[in-house]
Structure 1
Amino acid sequence: MRVPNELYTARPWRIHEFTKDFTLEDVWALPTPGGPDDLPRLVKQFTSNDDSEMSASVIRVLFAIRWKIGALLGLDKAEDGVGKRVASLRDRLPADLLELPDGPDFELVPLRSVYQTDTEYVAEMANKTCHVLMHIGWVPDGTGGYRGEMAALVKPNGLFGKAYMAGITPFRRALVVPSLIRGIGNNWSKYA
């Protein structure tokens, strides 16, 4: 289920301090009921090499198409990544966040950890089209428990990046993210 962007931006997330040049694409509630200290469990699930979250055939097909198109168009070259075409978000972090462990990197996709607190985890990737941040927050669910929220923040690279984001947004919102969220919910108990 999508969460209104205004609810996300009203939360006192640390990420707001150094991402004013990024656009918040969307925020999604995750079916991950838990207690106040379960963010590490969610991060472990997201970053593990267990690809069951991506087991839905629609996600596999769309990612396969994306990686094939990326290879044909040269969208994912190393020289267009974080630390090359764009500086890492880590370069903007205040000292207190730099002192924390940055959290695990993803094993199946090219997202690299930026920082992790007790309520936030941020990972990033960049290619020729954009610089993307995935923010996982751990929030009260309104019933005395907690759950995860996943937000995508993007900085497109020029007109091509803006066109690319406009082109993929309907597929991402209608197919990819809802299927991904179902997989996350189905596998949540495995990471207890």
Structure 2
Amino acid sequence: MARLDATAYTEPDWRVHELAKDFTLEDVWSFRTPGAGPDDFPVMLAAMRAAGGIDNQPWLAKFLFAFRWKLGALFDWDKPVLGSRVRSLRDRLPVDLPAASAGLNDDRLPLEPVYELEREAVGEIANKTVHALMHLGWMQGDGGDFELRMAVLVKPNGSFGRAYMAAIAPFRYLVIYPALTRRWEQAWLDREKLLAG
């Protein structure tokens, strides 16, 4: 895993650019997928889905997610607001960009799928803290192999949302992203086994 400069997200001609102009880019990361070719993005997504979600993360990441959901329940942060207070990105999709039916969903991290193409996919989540997008893209890396890239885009809910994003940043960088990286990079290496069963 490597954290990338913002241009790694802004320079490629992703379809999400036309839909998410009012979101702020928070992070861009790359994930190693040795031997991957230009047509392997659907294989990578399938392997990630098969590898499982939060419950298959290391104990510290699971603990942080559980603690966060407890706080959310206590302070009523996580009531879904897509379609009520927050307009879904799906409502912005042009006619030539069909909505996705499957995403990288996990019951404890309910990312709603927005769209999925041959080399990019978007999921979203909205609650009382933030409206966030996870953009996954498939790009050729410096070594010639294709690699997965993840961009996180956010629209915080006022000053509380901005404070929330600042408060969770150390946990994202020190625990969540490294755990996610190990899981996704291992899913690529184990893809044949994961997708055979």
**TM-score normalized with structure 2 length:** 0.88
CA RMSD of the aligned region, Å?
A: 1.7
1:36 to 35, 38, 51: 38
Equivalence for 2:63: 61
**Are positions 1:86 and 2:86 aligned together?**
yes
> Which amino acid is the alignment partner of residue 120 of structure 2?
E
SS of 2:190 mapped into structure 1: helix
* Mean Cα deviation higher: 9-18 or 45-54: 45-54
Deviation of the 1:157 alpha carbon:
0.6
Distance (Å, rounded) in 1 between the aligned partners of 2:62 and 2:125: 19
Count of residue pairs the alignment pairs up: 188
Deviation string 1:114-137 (CA, Å, 9 cap, x unpaired) is 001111000001010010100000
Q: How does 1:65-76 map to 2 (within 5 A)?
A: 65-76=67-78
Deviation at 1:57, TM superposition (A): 1.4
Structure 2 letter corresponding to 1:7: A
Structure 1: distance between partners of 2:187 and 2:89: 30
Paired AA for residue 128 in structure 1: K
1:104 to 99, 102, 122: 102
Taking the TM superposition and a 5 Å limit, the aligned residue runs for 1:1-150 are 1-33=2-34, 34-48=36-50, 50-51=52-53, 54-78=56-80, 81-98=81-98, 102-105=100-103, 106-108=105-107, 109-150=109-150
Aligned AA (2:6)? N
Q: Per-residue deviation at 1:11?
A: 1.0
Q: 1:19 to 1:127 in 2, by over 3 A?
A: same
CA distance in 1, matches of 2:84, 2:113: 16
SS at match of 2:97: helix
Separation in structure 2 between the aligned mates of residue 42 and residue 111 of structure 1, nearest angstrom: 17
Q: Verify: 1:156 aligned to 2:190, yes or no.
A: no
Gaps of 5+ in 1: none
- Contact persistence 2:89–2:114 (CA under 8 A): yes
Shift of residue 111, structure 1, vs aligned partner = 0.4
Following superposition, the deviation at residue 54 of structure 1 comes to 4.1
Aligned partner letter, 2:47: Q
Quick check: 1:56–1:179 contact (8 Å CA) kept in 2? yes
Pair 1:159–1:168, CA change in 2 (3 A): same
Q: Deviations over 1:71-92 (max 9, x none)?
A: 11100113xx211221110111
Can you give the 5+ residue segments of structure 2 that lack an aligned partner in the other structure?
193-197
User: What TM-score, normalized to structure 1?
Assistant: 0.91
